[in-house]
Structure 1
Amino acid sequence: MSQDEAAAGAAAPGNEAGQDSEQKKPEEAAESQEQQRQEAWAARRALIAHGPSFVQPLARSATQIARDQFGVSGGIVQGNVNIFGGRLRHPDHLSGEIPRARIEKLSEVFCRCPSFDDALDRLRTDKVVILSGGRATGRGSAALMLLSLLGVDRMRSLDPPDSVSALPGQLEGAAGYLLRDLTISRSHPLREPHLLGLRERLEHTGGHLVITVEPSAALDDIPYIRWEPPPAEDMLRSHVARHGGEAAWAGLSDLAPVKEFLTRAQQPSGIAEFAQQLITFHHGEIDEEKLTALGEAAVEAQVSRMLTDDQRTLRDKAFLVSLAVFDKAPYAVAAELGDGLYVRLQKTADPRQSPTIPVFDGSREARLRFAGAKGYVDTEITEWGTLIGQYFAAFREERTASALLHEVWNRHPSARPALAEWIRELAEDGRPLVRTRAASATAQLADADLSSAMAHLIEPWADDDYFGSWLTAANALTMAQLLSVPHIFQILHDWCTGENESRRWTAIRTYGLLGPVHHEQALKALLEAIRRPAQDDYDQDGDEDADAEEEALQFADALEVLLLAVREPVLSELAERLDDRALRTHALLAFLQACKQSKEDDSDRPYVLDWYAQATAADDTTTTRHLVSFWKALLADRAQNASALGVLRRWVLKANDDPESESALASLLPAVATTPTNHRRVSHLLRSVRDSGRAPSPVADRLLKRLPPD
């Protein structure tokens, strides 16, 4: 995680769990709403800190934007048959003699590696070897080649027995045996007497046996070989060289699509398919653009295989979907919440069967291997600070998360009700990370099918009477626009200028969040909404003032985020419109709220004061003039001058420990105090400031001397 992301921090969440479904009285609702409201800038930081990588453009200013392995682990595939582990439900391959032609084809492309050589040495001496490796790592192919290199002419594929004790009885009539995916657990153990019995039987028959197992198999003291496949590039080269020769590989290996392919995790079938396409490209039958597209399609094919793999349980697949939502997040969160999705999916699959969740079953490494993911240690952001040394999980292929959500939503619609219910529950979780990922998952579902995502999730959130739901809807729409989902701006415009209060708030907040990447469109829409005619049908319960106050806060929140994120373009637009009565109140409140925010670095310097200091150092007279204009307007505003003086007081106290803040104030305060009224206010403030020991502040005294004569 980058320092910028870590610095983004997370806002303290409101208590968003356990909502009372009963209707609250108006005064209770107003009080509850105020408690739930999260500061706009803090909510933006939370979105950036906890969202997926595609939200990072929000962390940059509009000015900055304007300037602005194949890593699987081995294996071989022949034709349409995947022999990388996992029982193949085909009469020829389930149990019986393995065709010799198949072995010969495999030998033409197989790559040896150190773990293979270790296994071969052990098989020669011990007659039996156990290969421990994950699915789709090439362990099945390696097993076949181990037997082949011993000169075994006849090989037989064995069906895993119900009991290991029955296995020796199957070892007759062939010189080589392959037993794939033997289940070894505490309840079905493989012990040393079993292994000795197998070895004795093989010595008698002159045969050899290779057993493949999952890494989670309970082997205890039983000797085994940890299967580590050869480098991905070597395997791809073997496939290509087999069909086109080494010269063909030399000419293809430097292609951009090949290099990109080798940086991604692929299942073995994808390797063989891509190799075939490389040969097709080599023969001039397709162009490089088509080759790139085929590499991208391999991700979708891999995702489809994982979701339809009948060798995997529904709980495994629920974890896979949960990891798609919590990609690059703590593993424990994805695993914990994945079980909640499993319960809902099981209810859809068979309401009569209660879901069973093994509390201490399996290992996280095995689950990550199935998902094509990796685990790593990183820093987690919480509302209390950062936690170092947390175990995270991420897909090896960047596009897997999005492809998974698209696949589930569009190609498995029976899962939609359970998935939507699960995401709605995530949005009510007490953890900012979980709530933000609920919104990001919804944005990706909107990218797959906008109308369904709106109906199932976004519109219900926007129509709720709960502030947190509005924020989730705003976050989802923000991220949907970042994904270039069509029609989002049309939805926002209709909601922002419409009569539905909660939808209007949602759109206003969304425009504020989108400011760094669409500031012109966002500001234009907000100004249009501010100038819209007032409603004539306010509630008759005396709520007109409350409604107006809430709306002013909504616009101020959005404009505050725009000011701090986009800076000069928005500052200039608003400063030049301070004479506009419809806009003035919202702009002043937004600027005041912005002045209360501090940088998330060691200096903790106020954003706006630091902004003024930078403009002064750069001799940016336009920016300094606009900032001073805002301060003058604040001090002259009856509703805001007391709060504005309070902010200045905090800035002066902050300058006690920050010479750069003092230097900025030494320039700003004289520029603000150019009228008799403002001079009296500022000078009185400086005379009354006391430090923590209740003594006159020496910084305030120095600043007072910098003011022009009264």
Structure 2
Amino acid sequence: MNRQANPTQPDDDKVRPDREQDPAEKDGGDHDTTDTAAGQNPIPEAWESVEQLFALAPHLRVGRANVMGDTQFDGDAVAGDKVVQHVYGSLPTRLRVVGPIPDSELAYLADTFAPSRRYDELCAQLTAGRVLVLRGRPGTGRRTAALRMLIQAGPKGGEVIALDPGTEPADFADHIRPGRAHVVVDPVTGKDNSVRDVHLNAARRRLGDDGLFIVVTGPGTAVDDVEAHDWEPPPPADVVRAHLTHAIRRSATSPRETQEISAVQRLLGLEATVQYLSAGPSPREAAGFARLLVEHARGRCSKEDLLGYGRESAEQIVGALFGGSSGAAGGDALRDKAFLISLAVFDGSPYPLIADLGDRLYRPLRAVEKPERPAGHPVFGTSPAERLAWARAREYCDETETPWGRVPERVVAFQNGSLWSTVLRHVWTSHPAVRRPVLDWLGSLTRDRRAVVRLRAAVASGLLAATDFEYAFNEFLHRWGCSSVAMERQLAAWALYTAAEHGMDTAVRRLLSSWSGRRDTARLWTVARTYALLGGATAVSALRDIGRMVVTGPEADGALRTTLEQTLEALLQGPAAATVLERLVQWYADRGPLRDLATAAFLRGTHRYQHEACAVGSWPRLLWLADHEPHARHHVVQMVRGLLGHHTTRTDATEALTRWIRAAERASLRTARACEAAPPSGEAVPAAVSDVESALARLLPALVATQNDQDRLDHLLRRLSNSPDGARSLTVVRLRAALSHERAALPGSF
């Protein structure tokens, strides 16, 4: 299981936690101790639960950038032996980050889009009316078409902004930026908050003369008195042709190699291509097949792989494995199928763990199939090699997370990257007799003392919820989410995240919105923890619901108050951090519980650190935001200035700045060592000033609005003029010089 480096505390620490630990926390100060009292392990903090999810459940790492805002894993992220997996079929719809859509995504979309007559008609409608409601089923290319229209009809090189689907239709206009292009996909609606013409007219007025807005709806979207235009997907052959043309152009190294038409026609004429396209795949599936064709043209996959894409889809493979009356050669068929289910839950884990937990499932399955016979099994059964070959899996070297760090281990995983979810969906929908044994088995795993076992059971439960949400809600989601045991509520949060990530995001959003209006603190806790996991994809909804909990909900007890603070702290680590900071500034301007929450959440955020690939040392997360995002900088300055200026928070704010100064000091020391180790040839060694120190030197003058502010910061720097080892701090000297030479801007001039 590959794990990216996460935000960390200053580099010198060997343990490298991502948050500096307060003395009270060393004794469990901020952990919910409900489970500890019950003799179980304490639950992780909100951000730790995010890290655990992506470290221990590699199935979900595709969605990591939504939460952490860092590099998204791709097929070449490997450790140990490289395992090439062909995914036969389309991946489920993933949660998408709200806000400006990356230019790279828009450029790729523009190059690979397959236009059609229906597209041209709809684009003309958008140009004329500036607001369009586009209706279609997921997987038909409706979102891609909407984005392509906004690119074509909008200002050249203009920004395209994705609104949070949790935004209520009545509030669409509040999130519109005049002159920009906007899209919202599958907004969460209901009988009392459907999309109405009055909402679209308000958005149209807000757009101005050049702005555009598309509402992409699906079968479950409530629309009243609004003209919705049906989307008709292009022929699959056109989709494949567009993707092939783009790939061939990119791979060409000379004009002689750009014979695009002949190369595309040759690939489209292959027997495997003709056979696949005759089945009428969706645009999403056709795009996936085009990528496989490119691999075939480069010699990286065989003709059998191409034929297998259409003939041996994941569903067909799984159907054959469970439909037969035999398992691996010489093995007990039912026991091997129990192993297969266990492999789906623990894909990428060591074989002994998967086999042992599979045998635990085998016993209740045997009791259902043959209740009159004892549920024992052979001690020496099928060989691992034969069982893995039958299950379409392979064993390879990797590193796994343990309480003692990452250790090398032999792990097993499906050869087809989509089989783990397909196995669970197939078992759940095609074999109702196994539902109860599987639920009981997963329930027992959630009580296991091993974190990886508990978390993987929750993830598997969430996948089942994505398959049949109502059944899962009645069987375990409601019970976990309302439990008095904190770990069960955390299980609900992990499961709800997984369900949302696998296509049930609308139902999950509705549930969270409903629960956030209740007065049950257990459900409110679960809502907050789930929003921490969902991250940037639901930031606007999270801030709205958290604010509602604080203002209209019951008086928060210690556990709920801490969880709300931790959730906001976690959201500050993700791609929607600037949006969160803006809301914290608004809350801080109020009196009462919202101000207290904003203060606590921001101060928690000052403890967080992050690494940049080419940086020497670690960045305080909020300092990094202030230096790299102008919008965030304004809000960081407002919050720090406000906290320093109030007598109740001045000490905490001063301690936060002290940590940042020491972090800049450490980074500059490391920069100095690097310069001394490799001085430029024939040149003097440059001043050892790190990027962290430079950013802090730019921020400190901005915190000064009055002479008192200037004196307060200068006093802090004089007090820190000596580093912890007693030597004079050159970093502090330079920061004092920057503070005295620069004059702060007035509030609102950033």
TM-score category (smaller protein): 0.5 to 0.7
Distance apart, 1:682 and its partner CA: 3.4
1:333 aligns with 2:336: no
Q: 2:386 aligns with which of 350, 366, 378?
A: 366
Paired amino acid for 2:55:
A
Q: 1:42 aligns with which of 42, 45, 48?
A: 48
Distance apart, 1:497 and its partner CA: 1.4
Distance apart, 1:407 and its partner CA: 2.1
CA deviation profile, 1:143-179 (whole Å, cap 9, x unmatched): xxxxxxxxxxxxxxxxxxxxxxxxxxxxxxxxxxxxx
The answer on whether the counterparts of 1:509 and 1:554 sit within 8 Å (CA) in structure 2 is: yes
Bigger mean CA offset, 577-586 vs 56-65 = 56-65
Residue in 2 that maps onto 1:406: 425
| CA distance in structure 2 between the aligned counterparts of 1:612 and 1:12, rounded to whole angstroms | 23
Aligned sequence identity (%): 29
SS at match of 1:425: helix
Assess, with a 3 A threshold, how the Cα gap between structure 1 residues 700 and 404 changes in structure 2: closer, same or farther: same
Residue in 2 that maps onto 1:585: 596
| CA distance in structure 2 between the aligned counterparts of 1:657 and 1:5, rounded to whole angstroms | 19
CA deviation profile, 1:448-485 (whole Å, cap 9, x unmatched): 21122122222222122222221111111112112121
Q: 2:563 aligns with which of 554, 559, 572?
A: 554
CA deviation profile, 1:194-217 (whole Å, cap 9, x unmatched): xxxxxxxxxxxxxxxxxxxxxxxx
The answer on whether the counterparts of 2:424 and 2:463 sit within 8 Å (CA) in structure 1 is: yes
| CA distance in structure 1 between the aligned counterparts of 2:324 and 2:267, rounded to whole angstroms | 35
Bigger mean CA offset, 345-354 vs 630-639 = 345-354
Distance apart, 1:638 and its partner CA: 4.8
1:319 aligns with 2:329: no
SS at match of 2:492: helix
Residue in 1 that maps onto 2:577: 567
Distance apart, 1:422 and its partner CA: 2.0
The answer on whether the counterparts of 1:439 and 1:476 sit within 8 Å (CA) in structure 2 is: yes
Q: 2:518 aligns with which of 482, 487, 498?
A: 498
Q: 2:65 aligns with which of 55, 59, 74?
A: 59
Paired amino acid for 2:622:
V
1:682 aligns with 2:713: yes
Equivalent runs, 1:355-504 vs 2, <5 Å: 355-382=375-402, 384-388=404-408, 390-485=409-504, 486-504=506-524
SS at match of 1:36: coil
| CA distance in structure 2 between the aligned counterparts of 1:371 and 1:35, rounded to whole angstroms | 34
SS at match of 1:391: strand
Q: 2:317 aligns with which of 287, 291, 302?
A: 302
Distance apart, 1:641 and its partner CA: 3.5
Equivalent runs, 1:154-165 vs 2, <5 Å: none
1:627 aligns with 2:636: yes
Residue in 1 that maps onto 2:219: none
Q: 1:510 aligns with which of 503, 513, 530?
A: 530
SS at match of 1:401: helix
SS at match of 2:401: strand
The answer on whether the counterparts of 2:2 and 2:399 sit within 8 Å (CA) in structure 1 is: no
| CA distance in structure 1 between the aligned counterparts of 2:538 and 2:471, rounded to whole angstroms | 26
SS at match of 2:459: helix
Bigger mean CA offset, 671-680 vs 325-334 = 671-680
Distance apart, 1:704 and its partner CA: 3.3
Paired amino acid for 1:530:
V
| CA distance in structure 1 between the aligned counterparts of 2:426 and 2:448, rounded to whole angstroms | 25
Gaps of 5+ in 2: 10-14, 19-31, 70-96, 106-265, 278-287, 294-302, 668-689, 744-750
Paired amino acid for 2:642:
A
Paired amino acid for 1:651:
W
| CA distance in structure 1 between the aligned counterparts of 2:493 and 2:579, rounded to whole angstroms | 23
| CA distance in structure 2 between the aligned counterparts of 1:673 and 1:637, rounded to whole angstroms | 14
| CA distance in structure 1 between the aligned counterparts of 2:664 and 2:337, rounded to whole angstroms | 56
Distance apart, 1:361 and its partner CA: 4.0
Residue in 2 that maps onto 1:641: 650
Q: 2:735 aligns with which of 698, 703, 709?
A: 703
**TM-score normalised to structure 2 length:** 0.57
Distance apart, 1:263 and its partner CA: 6.4
| CA distance in structure 2 between the aligned counterparts of 1:488 and 1:261, rounded to whole angstroms | 32
Equivalent runs, 1:82-481 vs 2, <5 Å: 251-255=270-274, 257=276, 260=289, 295=311, 298-312=313-327, 313=332, 314-350=334-370, 353-382=373-402, 384-388=404-408, 390-481=409-500
1:595 aligns with 2:606: yes
- Larger Rg: 1 or 2? 1
Gaps of 5+ in 1: 14-26, 69-246, 265-273, 279-290, 536-543
Assess, with a 3 A threshold, how the Cα gap between structure 1 residues 369 and 446 changes in structure 2: closer, same or farther: same
Distance apart, 1:304 and its partner CA: 2.8
Distance apart, 1:316 and its partner CA: 1.0
| CA distance in structure 2 between the aligned counterparts of 1:248 and 1:569, rounded to whole angstroms | 46
The answer on whether the counterparts of 2:55 and 2:401 sit within 8 Å (CA) in structure 1 is: yes
1:672 aligns with 2:703: yes
| CA distance in structure 1 between the aligned counterparts of 2:637 and 2:514, rounded to whole angstroms | 35
Distance apart, 1:12 and its partner CA: 9.0
| CA distance in structure 2 between the aligned counterparts of 1:627 and 1:256, rounded to whole angstroms | 58
The answer on whether the counterparts of 1:8 and 1:48 sit within 8 Å (CA) in structure 2 is: no
| CA distance in structure 1 between the aligned counterparts of 2:379 and 2:7, rounded to whole angstroms | 36
Residue in 1 that maps onto 2:232: none
| CA distance in structure 1 between the aligned counterparts of 2:415 and 2:587, rounded to whole angstroms | 50
| CA distance in structure 2 between the aligned counterparts of 1:363 and 1:11, rounded to whole angstroms | 41
Work out which structure has the larger RCO, using CA pairs closer than 8 Å and 6 or more positions apart in sequence.
Answer: 2
Residue in 1 that maps onto 2:256: none
The answer on whether the counterparts of 1:571 and 1:626 sit within 8 Å (CA) in structure 2 is: yes
SS at match of 1:551: helix
**TM-score normalised to structure 1 length:** 0.60
Distance apart, 1:514 and its partner CA: 1.7
Assess, with a 3 A threshold, how the Cα gap between structure 1 residues 7 and 424 changes in structure 2: closer, same or farther: farther
Paired amino acid for 2:570:
V
| CA distance in structure 1 between the aligned counterparts of 2:666 and 2:601, rounded to whole angstroms | 27
